[in-house]
Amino acid sequence: MIRTVSIWRWQLVFTGSIVAIVVMITAFTPQTLTIPLFIAGLALVVFTTLLTLAVPWRRLPRTAVVTLPLLDALAVGLTTSAPDLRLGLLWVFPVTWLATYFSMPWVLGGVAFISACLVAFAEHTGEPAEVLLRVLTVIITLSFLGVTVRVGSQRSRAARRLLERRSDQVNRAAERAQTNQQRVTQIIDALGVALVVVAGDGRILQMNDAYRALYGRDRFGAAVPSAAVEYDQRRGAAVPPDLTTLARAAAGEKLDDERVWLFDSNGQWRALQVSTQTMASEDEHIALVIIDDVTTVLDAAEERRTLAAIVSHELRNPLTAIIGHVDLLLERDDLPTRVTAQLEVIANAGERMEDLVASTLESTKHVPDEPFEPVDLRQVVEASAASFAPLISSSRKELEVSGAESMVIYGDAFRLRQVIDNLLSNAVKYTPAEGRITAELGSAPDGQAELSIRDTGTGIAADELPRLFEPYFRTERAVLAGVAGTGLGMGIARDIVEAHEGSISVDSTLGAGTIVTLRFPQRRVKEVLA
C-alpha cells in the first residue's frame, strides 16, 4: 500500500504541473493547443495518470513501475514541439523519479531515451551549432541531475538503514533493560525485608511489597487508610510525624539497626530493625531505608527465655529435695567412709546445679509492666489527629483540636492513644464530606480532665445508644450504608477508660452528630493496666 501511494504521489505531482502549464498556455498562447504533437503529449499524460491509478502495482514486479517515468518523458518530448516554450524543463520529473527509486543504469537509460525524444520532437530552429549546443546542454544537465539525485538517494537509504539498525539496537537494549528492571523488581518484592527509597523532601521514590504491606501503602506510594503507627517502645509513646523513620531518613540522619516498634493495622505489635544508606545523586539527597521485621526473632527469644525459666523453676524443687536428703544422710555416723565420700560428691554436684538454676532464673526474669506515668492528653490527641490528617483532607472534612494547651493525667500513653484513635476513626467514618470534627480539652465541674470529641455526622438513634458498648453491636444505619467495622471499638475504649478510673459517655442526635465525652481523674492512678 505504501508503494502504491508513492507511485500515485509522483505521477499526480507531474500531472498537476502539466495542468498548471496548460492553463497558462490557454491564457497566454492558445494557438499552441492546435499543435498535434503537443495535444498528443497532453493525451499521453492523461493516459499515464489513469494507468497509474488503475493498475494494482503491489501485484507487479518493481521494474514494471519504470514504464511510468518513461511514458512521462515521452509525453514531455511530444510537448517540446511547441515553439518558444521551454517545456523540456519538465524532464526533471521523470529523471528525478528514476534516480530516486531505480539503479544507475535505469537513470542513464532514461537520459538516453530523453535525448532521443529531444532529437525527434524538439524544435530545431536556428543554426546547427546552436541546436547541438541546446541538445547537449539538456542532456548534460539531466545526466548531472540524475547522477546527483541517485547518489543522494543511495546515501539517504544507507543513512536510513543505519538509523533503523541503531533504532533496533536501542529498542532491544530498552527491552533488555525493562526486562532486567522487572526481574529486579520481582526479586526485591519477593524479599521479606522492607525496602523504601525516599527523597530529601520526603517523597517515596520506590518501595517493595513488604513495605507496602507493613505500612499500608498503595503501589504508587500514597498512604491508604491504615492504623499503622510507629512507637518509641512497645506500648510507649507514638513517634511524632517529623521523627518517623522516613522523616529521619529524608533529613539525612544515619540509622544503624535502630529498633522501632510498629503497631500495625491488624492490632499486632511488630519490632522493626531500621538502617539507612545514602544513595549517590547529583541533584538531591536520596536515602535507602532497610526495615527488617524481627518480631519473630524476638518472640522466639522470649519463648526460649520463658521455657528456660519454667524448666529452671521446675528443676529447683527436685534439686532441693536431693540436696536435703543427702545432708540428712551425711549426718549419720554409721556410714562407711567410702559412702560418705560419694554422698559429698552428690551434694557438691547438686549445689552446683542449684546455682546454675538460680542464675538461669535471674537471667530470664521478666520485667513487669511499668506503672502509670504522667501523660499530656493534649499531645496524645494532637498525635492521633496528625495521623488522620491525610484521610480527613482527602475526604474534604475538617478536624480541629482546641481547649487547654496542656492537660496532664496519669495513665498509659499507648492505651489512651488507642481510645482516641477509635473515637476519631468513628467520627471520620460517619461524618460526610464538608463535615467538621472537633476535639476539645478542658476541666469538668468536678475537677476531672475532660475531652469531648464532637462531629457533624449521621448520628445514632436514641434506642441504639444503650447498646453502643456491646461487643459486635453496630447501628442499623452503619450496616445499611456498608461502613466497615467490627463493633468492638467502643467496648475496648470503655474498658481502657475504666482501667484509668475514668468514664465515657455518648450523646447523639440523628442527622445532627455525636458527642463522645471522656473524663479522667487528675491524680495518680496506682493500678497497672493489665
Q: Which three cell numbers, joined as nine digits, stand for 237?
A: 509513646
At residue 517, the pLDDT reads 93
Number of neighbouring beta carbons within 10 Å of residue 357: 19
CA angle 128, 130, 135 (to 5 degrees): 95
Contact 530, 520 (CB under 8 A): no
Q: Which three cell numbers, joined as nine digits, stand for 281?
A: 545523586
Q: What pLDDT, in 10s, does the model give residues 335-378?
A: 788 888 788 778 777 776 776 666 565 555 544 444 688 999 99
Q: What pLDDT, in 10s, does the model give residues 97-140?
A: 888 888 888 888 988 988 888 888 776 666 777 767 877 888 88
If you average pLDDT over every residue of the chain, what do you get? 81
Residue 513, H or E segment? strand 513-520
- The domains of the chain are located at 2-163, 191-293, 299-363, 373-520
The rounded Cα 259 to chain-centroid distance in angstroms is: 27
Q: Which positions ≥6 away from 334 have C-beta within 8 Å?
A: none
Q: Which positions ≥6 away from 392 have C-beta within 8 Å?
A: 398, 399, 428, 437
Rounded-to-integer distance, Cα 278 and Cα 273, Å: 17
Q: Which positions ≥6 away from 452 have C-beta within 8 Å?
A: 438, 439, 440, 442, 515, 516, 517, 518
Q: Which of 405, 451, 453 is nearest to 427 (CA)?
A: 453
Number of neighbouring beta carbons within 10 Å of residue 137: 11
Number of neighbouring beta carbons within 10 Å of residue 25: 19
Rounded-to-integer distance, Cα 90 and Cα 69, Å: 11
Cα dihedral 220, 222, 223, 225 sign? negative
**Burial of 405 (C-beta count, 10 Å sphere; 0-12/13-18/19+):** exposed
Rounded-to-integer distance, Cα 142 and Cα 108, Å: 9
Q: Which of 382, 383, 425 is nearest to 244 (CA)?
A: 383
Question: What's the one-letter identity of residue 385?
Answer: A
Using CA atoms, how far residue 187 sits from 182, 184, 210, 216, 273, in Å, is 9, 5, 12, 20, 21
Q: Which three cell numbers, joined as nine digits, stand for 306?
A: 520463658
Number of neighbouring beta carbons within 10 Å of residue 68: 22
User: Across the chain, how many H-helices and E-strands are there?
Assistant: 14, 13
Length of the chain as a residue count: 530
At residue 358, the pLDDT reads 66
Question: What's the one-letter identity of residue 200?
Answer: G
Helix, strand or coil, per DSSP, at residue 138: helix
Question: What's the one-letter identity of residue 34?
Answer: T
- Tell me the pTM: 0.45
The rounded Cα 461 to chain-centroid distance in angstroms is: 43
Q: Which three cell numbers, joined as nine digits, stand for 15?
A: 500531472
At residue 450, the pLDDT reads 92
The rounded Cα 265 to chain-centroid distance in angstroms is: 22
CA angle 118, 50, 21 (to 5 degrees): 50
Q: Which three cell numbers, joined as nine digits, stand for 169?
A: 539496537
Number of neighbouring beta carbons within 10 Å of residue 228: 18
Contact 290, 195 (CB under 8 A): yes
Contact 350, 322 (CB under 8 A): yes
DSSP string, 371-383: PPEEEEHHHHHHH
Q: What pLDDT, in 10s, does the model give residues 248-263?
A: 888 888 888 888 888 8
Number of neighbouring beta carbons within 10 Å of residue 387: 21
Contact 37, 78 (CB under 8 A): yes
Contact 193, 182 (CB under 8 A): no
Answer yes or no: same fold for 191-293 and 373-520. no
Q: How far apart are the first and last CA of the chain?
A: 83
Span 373-520: which CATH code?
3.30.565.10
Q: Which of 114, 103, 117 is nearest to 149 (CA)?
A: 103
Angle (deg, nearest 10), helices 337-363 and 295-330: 150
Q: What's the topology of domain 191-293?
A: Beta-Lactamase (3.30.450)
Average pLDDT, consecutive stretches of 10 residues, N- to C-terminus, the chain (530 residues): 77 90 88 88 92 88 88 89 75 88 87 86 71 80 87 86 89 85 78 84 83 74 63 81 85 87 80 85 79 82 68 64 78 81 77 66 49 87 83 83 90 87 86 89 89 89 83 70 66 87 90 90 52
Contact 232, 239 (CB under 8 A): yes
Helix, strand or coil, per DSSP, at residue 257: coil
